[in-house]
Amino acid sequence: MKKIVYPGTFDPIHRGHLDIAKRASKLFDELIFAVADNATKKPLFTVDERVELIQKSTQDFPNVRAMSTNKLIVEVAKNENACALIRGLRHVSDFEFEFQMAMMNYHLDPEITTIFMMPDEKYIHLNSTVIKEVTKLGGDLTDYVSKDVYNALKIKYSI
C-alpha cells in the first residue's frame, strides 16, 4: 500500500490545497494530511479545528485522512509507513523554501521522497493569508474555500 503525507499549516484549507490533495490521492492508495501544531506561526484556527475543517472539506475523497503533529515530518511519514511527501508549488518564489525543506528532509531520511505538484492555474494565486484577509473585510470567497471553511471563517471574524 503506497501512502503519501501532505504536510502544512492549513490555516485554513482552501481549494489550492484541495486541488493538490485530489490529484496526489489518485496516484497513491492513501493521502494523509499532517497538520503542523506550530505555535510560532500563530494560526487563526486551533490545530484541532484545522484537522476538522480538512476532514469536512475532503468528505468526498475516498482515500484521504487528516491528523495533527508536532513531530518532524519525515518521522510522521515513517510512522505512517508513507514513502513520499507532497508539496504544492505556486510560483518561483515558493521554490527556494521548498528546495531547502526537501533537501533537509532527504538528509534526515533518504527513503522519503518529496514530490512537487502545481495546482490548476485558477488556484495559483491562493494562499491562506489572503483568504483570511479578504473574508475579514467581507469579501465572498465561496469559490476558493469549502462551505464549512467559509462558515468557520465568518464565525471567527463575527461576520
Q: Residue 87 Cβ, how far from ligand ADP at the closest point, in Å?
A: 3
Q: Residue 126 Cβ, how far from ligand ADP at the closest point, in Å?
A: 4
Q: Which residues contact 68 (CB under 8 A, 6 or more apart)?
A: 34, 35, 36, 37, 47, 48, 50, 51
For ligand ADP, the closer CB: 2 or 125: 125
Residues 8-27 that bind ligand ADP (CB under 6 A): 8-10, 16-17, 20
Piece of 6-14, 24-32, 63-71, 133-141 that binds ligand ADP (CB under 6 A): 6-14
Task: Tell me: does residue 50 bind ligand ADP (CB under 6 A).
Answer: no
Calpha distance 47→38 (Å, rounded): 8
Q: What region does 82 belong to: left with phi over 0, alpha with psi -120 to 50, or beta?
A: beta
Calpha distance 71→60 (Å, rounded): 28
For binding to ligand ADP (CB under 6 A), which residues are involved? 8-10, 16-17, 20, 87-88, 90, 94, 119, 123, 126-128
